[in-house]
Amino acid sequence: MSVNTLDYIPFDYQRYFQEILPAFEQATHGNFIFLKDLLDSATQIAYSVRTRYAVPLSGDESQHFLGNRFETNIASLLNVPTLRRVRAGGEWNPWDALAIVLPTLEGRTLHHLGQYGELLKSFLLATFCCQCPPWSANWSQRSNGPIIPHDEVLFDWQTYITRDEHMQQLWSVFDQPLPLEIISRWPSPEDTQNERHPRAIFYTLAGSYAFLQSLRI
């Protein structure tokens, strides 16, 4: 049994590497059409894999969203009249505010999108590529706790699944490398091949701020 909640959250690798990442790559060359289409098509927004809202936002959901401790200040993307309306409980769509970020991506690279660029990427990643299972409401709220409380520790589990050749073969199916078409778009070429399997890539993508917040409510 895995001890980390993230291991139980479905993640669409194909969409991330074949749609979202290329859209950012196009934006760094001044073509914002693909990213803008993604923002316009969104009917929800997720700043973490455990927190998802239908857009537009209003009322308590709006205040919760604005009050979250993002690495960058979302409110700073709003003009004064809009910010006043939002704080008064009026409806607004965060994707409209985040669209302001698109021109700032031109001339950058996928490795250096800037604070707002990384924030936008994390929102798209959580919104379009992740889906928290319905039964996740029963998960522990602790960010570093196991799905189901138990006494075993990770090292005991590692010892168990590698104790002999039969067990290694049985559990190796859970540690298959990523397809070559995904590896070719891996944004960290300096990483070793052993770090480019589904579990490792998920945690590497946790560098996006949404995943640092992934277990928050």
Identify the pLDDT of residue 143.
47
Percentage of the chain exceeding pLDDT 90: 29
- Residue ranges per structural domain of the chain: 5-212
Identify the pLDDT of residue 217.
47
pLDDT digits (tens, 9 = 90+) for 96-154: 999 999 999 999 998 889 989 988 998 998 899 888 777 666 666 554 455 555 555 55
Global confidence as pTM: 0.76
| 56 upstream amide cis, omega within 30 of 0 | yes
What does the alpha-carbon distance between residue 105 and residue 88 come to, in Å, rounded to a whole number? 31
Number of H helices, E strands in the chain: 12, 2
Average pLDDT over residues 22-42: 96
Identify the pLDDT of residue 43.
96
Q: Which long-range contacts (CB under 8 A, 24 or more apart) does 157-162 make?
A: 157/1, 157/3
Identify the pLDDT of residue 97.
93
pLDDT digits (tens, 9 = 90+) for 76-102: 898 899 989 988 889 999 999 999 999
Give 59-102 as a DSSP string: HHHHHHHHHS--SS-GGGGS-HHHHHHHHTT--B-HHHHHGGGG
